[in-house]
Amino acid sequence: MNEKTNPFKALDSDVGCPPDLKSDLTAEIDLMRNVLMVVDTYTHNTVAVLTAFVNGLSPTDQA
């Protein structure tokens, strides 16, 4: 039986990542995560306030 080889195995390297590069990449990922958390927090609050404002402007049906 012909066994298929994984072409991505040839891309694997035995060389490790230098510690300073690893810490720099971790710091960049943490920075991006923190920025996105801040943006998400303020965007969510802004949308909630705008929704409440628009709901207050719309006429309500009173019987």
- Look at residue 29 and tell me if it is in a domain: yes
- Look at residue 7 and tell me if it is in a domain: no
C-alpha to C-alpha distance for 38 and 50, rounded to whole angstroms: 18
CA distance to 14, 23, 50, per residue, from 18 (Å): 13, 9, 48
- Look at residue 45 and tell me if it is in a domain: yes
Give me the tens of pLDDT residue by residue for the chain, a chain 63 residues long.
456 888 888 887 778 888 899 999 999 999 999 999 999 888 888 888 888 888 887 766 554
- Look at residue 25 and tell me if it is in a domain: yes
CA distance to 2, 12, 53, per residue, from 46 (Å): 60, 46, 10
Q: Which domain holds residue 39?
A: 18-54
- Look at residue 48 and tell me if it is in a domain: yes
- Look at residue 6 and tell me if it is in a domain: no
pTM over 0.75: no
Number of structural domains found in the chain: 1
